[in-house]
Copies of this chain bind each other. A is one copy, B any other.
Amino acid sequence: MATRSAAPEADCAREQSGHPLDRALASALQSTIAGAGVGVELWNGVRTAPPGTERGALVIRDRRALLGLLLDPDLQFGECYSDGRLDVRGEFGDVIDALSLNARRDRLSLRERWALVTERAEGLRAARRNIHRHYDIGNAFYRLWLDPELVYTCAYYSSAAATLEQAQTAKLDLVCRKVRLQRGDSVIDAGCGWGALARHMAKRYGARVRAFNISREQIEFARAAAAREGISDRVEFVEDDYRNITGHCDVFVSVGMLEHVGLRNYASLSRVIKRTLDGRTGRGLLHFIGRERRRPVNAWTRRRIFPGGYVPTLAQVDARVLEPAGFATLDVENLRLHYARTLSDWLERYERAVPEVRRMFDERFVRMWRLYLAGSHGAFLSGWLQLFQIVFAPPDLAVRWTRDDLYCGSPTAGPERA
């Protein structure tokens, strides 16, 4: 666009205040974000705002923050914003989205390459600690901005007008229909969150579900909800790691857990699926955040939000989880934009709940979670992140002839073998 500077590095700091070094650093930072339409403002009045940067500005409160943003933006953007050493002028979500789109690049940094090489497997204890840190900060907090069923994964908006509640219910149904869930089917739900999917399967489809999770708060919530609904005989919530799942099932589902499993543990997950899912008529579904290329989780997200997390490519899941388990992929759907929309709905509710969040935690927590939600929205919108749903089954099982029944309300028949 003509209004954007072709050579932003040539733009000088507008106001000639501040140390020449600060002006030079501001100018260097400006050159990396001009494409996002965002300027730079320093604590001492230095401003760079080349033409086309009217969207907003990064307001930097001290020199350490400025250096951090230049040297290690992946980590320091989040650290500085959480600490209040970085602010955003302009509409917060809009600026974050623009920065995310602008930052998209194909090449990996040296830091990212190193992170990929040193990716390691989390043991049971570390996994429990990591999950505790994110999910056990209080159901009351999540109730402030999730839907009433506390579904903390990508929703499915069958139309643009759908509410978050409708879209979460539609997602639960989409999962059940994709695996052709039948009355009486036994289900294993690995990483069940607050149990909405497991309870939905029991309530609406008459399935018998065993749901696993290592977050104590989530499991307790799920059990209480099942008891209230009178379905405790059909859905069992087990506080245990996916690696300890035993038994046998007709349907294996895992929605939003794979991101926490970590690449080096895919072989374990594969063995769990192989030993539990029926090798003749079983159907499975994995729903997870993915990427189109191998890349480590953003450094700040991994440090503050999802320790131990890894976001895989489709090929990694297919080759390391499904292939060794002997299952064939039947269907993959990329719901990236549905997660962007889900996050937009969450962020809107979160902002309304900020005074409450501030009372429950502190300002640093408020800012950290705002950035996490807005940054995730930007990542899905700009294609840094994708959202895959994979349906799998034994290589000779015919789960459906066409997809018509998923979308046009055709009658649903059960799965058939050759």
Residue numbers of A with Cβ under 8 A of B are 101, 104, 106, 156-158, 160, 292-294, 313-316, 318-319, 322-323, 326-334, 336-337, 340, 381-384, 386, 388, 394-398, 401-404, 406-408, 418
CB-based contact A396/B332 at 8 Å: no
Q: How many copies of the shown chain assemble into the complex?
A: 2
CB-based contact A337/B398 at 8 Å: yes
B-chain residues with CB within 8 Å of residue A106 when the two chains form the complex: 326
Most buried by B among A293, A318, A319, A418: A418
CB-based contact A383/B328 at 8 Å: yes
CB-based contact B395/A292 at 8 Å: yes
Name the residue on B nearest A386 (C-beta). Answer: B328
CB-based contact B331/A292 at 8 Å: no
CB-based contact B403/A395 at 8 Å: no
CB-based contact B323/A319 at 8 Å: no
Q: What is the CA–CA distance of A293 and B270 in the complex, to the nearest angstrom?
A: 14
B-chain residues with CB within 8 Å of residue A397 when the two chains form the complex: 383
B-chain residues with CB within 8 Å of residue A403 when the two chains form the complex: 333, 403, 406-407
A318 touching B326 in the complex, CB below 8 Å, given contacts A292-B395, A333-B403: no
CB-based contact B323/A395 at 8 Å: no
CB-based contact B334/A329 at 8 Å: yes
CB-based contact A334/B323 at 8 Å: no
Q: What is the CA–CA distance of A313 and B319 in the complex, to the nearest angstrom?
A: 8
CB-based contact A326/B292 at 8 Å: yes
Q: What is the CA–CA distance of A323 and B291 in the complex, to the nearest angstrom?
A: 9
Nearest CB on B from A405, distance (A): 9
A323 touching B158 in the complex, CB below 8 Å, given contacts A382-B396, A382-B418, A401-B337: no
Q: What is the CA–CA distance of A269 and B157 in the complex, to the nearest angstrom?
A: 36
30 contacts between A and B (CB under 8 A): A101-B418, A104-B395, A104-B396, A106-B326, A157-B401, A158-B402, A292-B327, A292-B328, A292-B329, A294-B323, A313-B323, A314-B314, A314-B329, A315-B316, A315-B318, A315-B323, A328-B334, A328-B336, A328-B383, A328-B386, A330-B334, A332-B332, A333-B403, A336-B398, A340-B418, A381-B418, A383-B394, A383-B395, A403-B403, A407-B408
B-chain residues with CB within 8 Å of residue A396 when the two chains form the complex: 101, 104, 381-383
Nearest CB on B from A281, distance (A): 13
Q: What is the CA–CA distance of A293 and B293 in the complex, to the nearest angstrom?
A: 21
B-chain residues with CB within 8 Å of residue A319 when the two chains form the complex: 313, 315-316, 319
B-chain residues with CB within 8 Å of residue A315 when the two chains form the complex: 314-316, 318-319, 323
